[in-house]
Each structure stands twice: as structure tokens, then as C-alpha cells.
A and B are shown apart, each in its own frame.
Chain A
Amino acid sequence: MSRYVFIETRDPFESRDTRFLEETAVAVKERGHEVTVFLVQNGVLAARLSARRLGHLAEAGVTVLADDLSLRERGIKPEELAPSIRESGIDALVDAIVQENTKALWH
């Protein structure tokens, strides 16, 4: 088993490529790997409950984290997050990508 960390920087309402990343994350998870999606920059816009996105990632067992600074910059409060998404600091991303046997992909 490998670990995969997908770093999503893009606004889902601007870039349809974000859907490709979501599908890839789920597909990798279904193959038995540990998968984390870390939302940062405009990627955190998908973390809002009102955006009605990314629920399928949690259902598939993918961990979804949202960068705290990116959330604050965009005025998104913790209570606005979808319940399956956890606010996180950039140090959590660093911890995740310095694990052995981990593939980190920036999008």
C-alpha cells in the first residue's frame, strides 16, 4: 500500500480539472491505497457545505483537509465547512508528504 497526497489549489467552479482529481483520488483509494486530498488556495472553495462538493470523497474513505490560512483569506468560517472536511494547518501537509512511500501531487 502506498500513500497519496493530492494537493488541490484550483477553484472547482473555475476549473473542471478538479473533477478529474476527485475521480483519481477515489480510484486510487479503491485500489487499496491511503489517500488524502489537501485543499489550499482557491481549492478551499470546495470545502464549504453550501458548495455541495466532495462528499463522495469522504464516502470513499478519502481524507479531506482544508488549509486554515486559505480559509481565513476567503472568509470561510469553520462552521461553514462540510462535516467530512477538517480544517488543517500547512504543517499537517508537510507531515503527510514526508512519510515514506508517499506520492505527493500538486494540482
Chain B
Amino acid sequence: MNERRRLTLALMDPPYESANSTTALRIITAALAKGIDVNVFAYEGAVCLALKDQTPHANPVKGTTVEEEEHPTTKSFVSSLLALGQDKPQLTWVNCGLCVDERGAANVVEGVKRGSPADFFKMANESTNTLVIPTR
């Protein structure tokens, strides 16, 4: 039997604060490249990874423009990954609704869903494995 593999990740770190976010995005990318379905449950500050209001900026210290700086935003990474994971493999990204409300972070990129820890429980049950990436 050739059963599809599925990996669930729980993320908690907010964007631009921890190398954990970069590593998590790399794991998701690598898994999708291997045809592995991925579930992401974004909890606490991680709900802001997909925040649409993020804006690339120039760097006045280096004197670079927005275009020259090519400042990467996590919302762009999330959008790109969701585009990669539209079908097979599939990426499902769920933001914790209460965490979103607390942070006023409802304006997220297309494809991100709203859910609760019950979704994480369901995701974990349906997955080959689950990796929890906590904050310190």
C-alpha cells in the first residue's frame, strides 16, 4: 500500500524573532518538495507569520531602496508555500483563532484558515508524525 505521508508542525514563534521560524519554513519546503502533505498549526505569535500587513522596507543604514534590499517577509514565504501545496502535496495552514483575535491579526494571506487547538489534535491524529516547535 502506498499511503501518503503527512507531517504536522505546531509553530509558536512570531516572525522576525527566532531562527526557529526559518528552520520551520525550510522543513515545510523540503517536505512539500518530497511530495509529503504538511499541516501547520500556528499558535501564539506564529499567527503573525501570515499577516498581510507586513511590508518590505528599505534599509537607510545601507542606503538601499526597497527593491535593492529585497527584504523577505514571512507572509510571502507562507503564500509561496501555500501555492506549492495546493493539491498534491497539500499544505494546510491553520491559525489559532483566539491567538489571532488577541493580536488583531486576522488580515492574513489567502489560503490561511482559522481554527482551534482541536484542529491541531485532529491534524496530529491524521499525520505520520507531528513536530512541535515551541518558543523557549
Q: Which residues of A contact B (CB under 8 A)?
A: 7, 9, 40-42, 67, 69, 89-91, 93-95, 97-100, 102, 104, 106
Contact = CB atoms under 8 A, between A and B. Distances in A.
A76 to B, nearest CB: 15
Contacts of A90: 23, 26-27, 30
B108 interface: no
A100 B128 contact: yes
A100 B130 CA distance: 11
Given A94-B34, A97-B7, A69 B26 contact: yes
Interface in B26-44: 26-27, 30-31, 33-34, 36
Contacts of B26: 69, 90
A94 B128 contact: no
A106 B31 contact: no
A102 B129 contact: yes
A106 B131 contact: yes
29 contacts: A9-B19, A9-B20, A9-B23, A41-B19, A41-B20, A41-B23, A42-B19, A89-B30, A90-B23, A90-B26, A91-B30, A93-B30, A94-B27, A94-B30, A94-B34, A95-B34, A98-B5, A98-B7, A98-B36, A98-B128, A99-B128, A102-B129, A104-B129, A104-B130, A104-B131, A106-B131, A106-B132, A106-B133, A106-B134
B23 A94 contact: no
Given A41-B19, A98-B129, 6 more contacts: A90-B26, A91-B30, A91-B33, A102-B129, A106-B133, A106-B134
Interface of B: 5, 7, 19-20, 23, 26-27, 30-31, 33-34, 36, 128-134
Nearest to A102: B129
A90 B133 CA distance: 15
Contacts of B129: 97-99, 102, 104
Contacts of A40: 23
Nearest 5 Cβ contacts at the A-B interface: A41-B19, A91-B30, A94-B30, A90-B26, A104-B131
Contacts of A7: 131
A37 B5 CA distance: 22
B20 A97 contact: no
